[in-house]
Structure 1
Amino acid sequence: MTRVNMFIDMDTELIKESSKKAEAEMAQEISSKRAGEELEQEIVQDDEVAIDAIPLATKPAPIVNFQIHRKGRQGYYEIMRADGSSKIYLLFSQLMKSFDREDLETFWNLVKAKHENTRPEEGFERVLWGDLKTMFEHHVEDIIWRNLQGKKVLLWRLYDSCGVHFVRFEDMHVYMLVEKRYPLTPATITNMLNKKLKSDYWNEMCYQLLKLMKKQLKKQ
């Protein structure tokens, strides 16, 4: 009877050991989880410090001068800024991709000051002056609008960095500010809409430009 009363089932011992082991593992898991959370919090804080330490992108210095260089029949633009830096652009369209509206307006003012509102005779200067004047100081009687009659649209593109849209026709082109209405004929506007606007990505400026063109078409 004594041996019977002192007998302990082997399964009972295993259960107790398993229970103790499970409790130990759970405690270790909780401890590891807390340590992981503390480490994660430290990493987040470190990231925040690192992000704060990164300087924000700064706007380029203002444009102070420009030159048009010619090499044979080819030409290119050199844009100088107030910090002494300069950059070469082979095409006017490259300017549109790099300039913002302030750069564009400053550039036009420099061109006007150089030629004193007179039409330059040199080829590259004349084209540059004509493109900017049509953009900023267009007039319904300008010859360019009469020359657009019956011209087929080859490309219609938006340069959203400076708020300008560009239309290439069969043998001419025109740059226009997004928010302004220009004396385009209904046939030309319809042709532009049918050709579809080209842009690097869809944004609010695309929508507003299309809305303006359709509104202008209805009023005509």
Structure 2
Amino acid sequence: MEDGTDIVTLMLCMLKAISRDDLTELYRIVMNRYGMDGPEDELEKVFWKYLKNMFEEPLSTDPIWSELGQQRIISWRYYESCRVHCLNLESMDIYMLIERTYPLSAEMCKAMLDKKLQGGKPDENCYKMLKRWKSKL
């Protein structure tokens, strides 16, 4: 892989085909291998961070969440097989498990709802998530 866009492409292809159980197992394997510090290789570190952001308790102080408000949404996708949302922004991608609550600002929630969900059929969990987000507005 030559740049960060390759890891994004790999991640998106994986999310189309992987189940939640497989994704959870992948997270466990990656964290056992690299621990909390992560790998040294830059591309591996990007993948590690995607998984870490999905599965670990999000901290509102983490720069990734504060940078969201300054980003324009390119697309918002839902991958039903693994129940993951992908928020594609101008300079980063965010992957979120559907049943978790992330520190999204009211402005970002509104922008996501305005952008409309692409791909996959929203399930009951997706509607619950949208209802939680709407209550922030």
TM-score, normalization by structure 1: 0.56
Query: Would the aligned equivalents of 2:19 and 2:81 in 1 still touch at CA under 8 Å?
Result: yes
Query: Would the aligned equivalents of 2:77 and 2:120 in 1 still touch at CA under 8 Å?
Result: no
Distance 2:65 2:120 in 1: 27
Over aligned residue pairs, what C-alpha RMSD do you find? 2.0
Partner of 1:118: 37
Higher strand share: 1
Is 2:93 the counterpart of 1:185? no
Q: Which stretches in structure 1 are left out of the alignment for 5+ residues?
A: 1-69, 78-89
Structure ranking higher on relative contact order (CA contacts 8 Å, 6+ apart): 2
Distance 2:3 2:66 in 1: 29
Partner of 1:172: 92
Query: Where does structure 1 differ by over 4 angstroms across 4 or more consecutive aligned residues?
Result: 74-77
Distance 1:116 1:150 in 2: 30
Deviations 1:151-184 (A, max 9, x none): 1111111001011101011111100010111001
- What letter matches 1:148 in structure 2? L
Structure 1 segment 17-36 matched on structure 2, within 5 A: none
Partner of 1:143: 63
1:109 is displaced (CA, Å) by 0.6
1:105 is displaced (CA, Å) by 0.6
Work out which of the two has the higher radius of gyration on C-alpha atoms and give 1 or 2: 1
Q: Which stretches in structure 2 are left out of the alignment for 5+ residues?
A: none
Query: Would the aligned equivalents of 1:157 and 1:198 in 2 still touch at CA under 8 Å?
Result: yes
* Secondary structure of 2:70 counterpart: coil
- What letter matches 2:130 in structure 1? L
Structure 1 segment 198-217 matched on structure 2, within 5 A: 198-215=118-135, 217=136
Query: Would the aligned equivalents of 1:160 and 1:205 in 2 still touch at CA under 8 Å?
Result: no
| More displaced 10-residue stretch of structure 1: 193-202 or 151-160 | 193-202
Query: Would the aligned equivalents of 2:99 and 2:125 in 1 still touch at CA under 8 Å?
Result: no
Seq. identity, %:
36
Choose the corresponding residue for 1:107, options 26, 37, 41: 26
Distance 2:41 2:111 in 1: 33
TM-score, normalization by structure 2: 0.87
